[in-house]
A = this chain, B = another copy of it.
Amino acid sequence: MKEEVLIVKIGGNIIDDAHKLDAFLDDFAGIEGPKILVHGGGKVATAIGAQLGLEPQYVDGRRITDKETLSLVTMVYGGLVNKNMVAALQSRNCNAIGLTGADGNMVRASKRPVKEVDYGYVGDVGSDGVNSALLSMMLDSGLVPVIAPLTHNGSGDMLNTNADTMSREIACALATTMQVKLIYCFEQKGLLRDMHDEHSIIPRVDSALFDELKKDGVVSGGMIPKLENALQAARQQVSMVVIGHAAELTGLIAGKAGTRLTNTN
């Protein structure tokens, strides 16, 4: 039987709230077995950027990473957020080790080609971009990788990479040798059929249902790429992919909460 590993992704909504983050880290630290945490950035980067005189620029809801923004996210995601989370997990007897994709050449990416939009220093992970041997070695040593959404291009540049994508790439790479559970935490208890009714959780979503939900406008905006990432992981050997609320982490892992993304077509 393949060894199991749990990958949990958390976003800015938890990172920005000290109380929620503490509760989440308590739960995460308490989970037995090999595990990985992937974190996003949060508003702290925008706040520090504003103090430094940087105006965030967006195209189609995606942030443009110019040279100054790259420095900003390298220090905020890779330094401040990552290390404070590692120290917090260490205090909970969780042997966390903070990493970016550059560390140990863990995740290599290519700068996104300029088409209509120049996204700047944004990295797309290639099919062999994830160094799963390094991650396996760490997991075997009882270490808990805490991964910031940053990659490198092998030519000396750090690159900004979406945390949902990074989680999926890592999950898919590890799934070739391990049994992987991937949990995406976000602001809701799952995918809701009616966004005003938190009991309207859709328990399972496959590609066909996803297409319907998009057509009906149930899924829109930033949820589309998030669910596409999750569905792609489900199609690529990741044994369980769930999206739900960080406050229900143990329920999500047990398959008793959230929305499960499945590969049925």
Contact = CB atoms under 8 A, between A and B. Distances in A.
B75 A80 contact: yes
Contact of A152 (B87, B103, B134): B87
A262 interface: no
Contacts of A137: 141
Interface in A59-117: 71, 74-80, 82-84, 86-88, 90-91, 95-100, 102-105
B98 A86 contact: no
Protomer copies: 2
Contacts of A75: 48, 75-76, 79-80
A141 B138 CA distance: 11
A74 B134 CA distance: 25
Contacts of A157: 87
A87 B104 contact: no
A104 B100 contact: no
Identify which of A48, A74, A83, A154 gathers the most chain B CB atoms within 10 Å of its CB. Answer: A83
Nearest to A45: B75
Contacts of A152: 86-87, 90
A132 to B, nearest CB: 14
A199 to B, nearest CB: 36
Contacts of A95: 104-105
Contacts of A74: 79-80, 83-84
B78 A154 contact: no
Contact of A98 (B77, B102, B156): B102
A52 B87 CA distance: 24
Given A48-B52, A103-B98, A104-B97, A156 B88 contact: yes
B98 A100 contact: yes
Contact of A86 (B48, B52, B87, B102): B102
A143 interface: yes
A83 B83 CA distance: 13
Interface of A: 48, 51-53, 71, 74-80, 82-84, 86-88, 90-91, 95-100, 102-105, 134, 137, 141, 143, 150, 152, 154-158
Given A78-B79, A78-B82, 6 more contacts: A84-B158, A87-B152, A88-B156, A96-B102, A98-B100, A104-B143
